[in-house]
Amino acid sequence: MRLSFIVPTKNETTTPGIVRDIYRAFGRKAEVIVIDKSDPEYRKPLYKTGAKIVVQKKGVYEHALVQGFRMAHGDLLAAIDPDGTYSVKDLKMIVDYLSKHKEYAYVGGDRLDCPKEAMPGWIKFGNRMFGVLATVLMGQRMRDTFSGSFAMWREPYNKIRSMEGYIGGPTIFQLALARKGFKVKCIPISYKPRIGSKPKTTNFKPGLAVKLALNIIRGRFS
């Protein structure tokens, strides 16, 4: 079984270390694709990791994931945000769980029991509410739909490749898979404060929250 890992990054100094951790955990035969939207000084160290480096010229986080998965060759596809909040140790636990429980098409990390230093209470509350909305609409438990550490099988993914246009990170994969009748699951992982830079979401943005909720609803009925 071939494993492919997508690492979407933008100006994160922790990315080379995450790539090396992936190789240590899964071996040099693992396919690692870094979709990079960084400034040149951040990109240069990436070429020393041995991973395939692809420059992302346009689009946002979701586009980076889709671009990486479409380029990947693995039977099992996985992704991790390299900002220091997620650990490769937990990603390995996710991959191992998916490998042993083939009834699931997708397994993601559940961060919602992390300390408040890693995820402020209002963000945690919002994530819980999005999970409740997705659970009600999709008919299966989807607790942490925005977790940036997850894995899925290639065959189910090939049946949802037309989901571009949605926002919400990994949510788009969970929604599309659940809509096709595939089973998804979240398992507990650790989650740490972001390293080296401020969190991408620092202020409450009602417009973004509404847009994310509408995209979850769109994912169910469109």
Do residues 145 and 128 make contact, with C-beta atoms less than 8 angstroms apart? no
Q: How many CB atoms lie within 10 A of CB 31?
A: 18
Mean pLDDT of 171-183: 89
CATH number at residue 170: 3.90.550.10
Report the pLDDT value the prediction gives residue 220, as an integer from 0 to 100: 63
Comparing CA positions, the residue from 50, 25, 18, 65 lying closest to residue 161 is 65
For residue 183, is pLDDT > 70?
Answer: yes
pTM: 0.88
Do residues 147 and 108 make contact, with C-beta atoms less than 8 angstroms apart? yes
- 86 vs 162, which has greater pLDDT? 86
Q: How many separate domains does the chain show?
A: 1
Instruction: Write out pLDDT tens, residues 101-122.
Output: 999 999 999 999 999 899 999 8
Domain range for 150: 3-221
For residue 201, is pLDDT > 60?
Answer: no
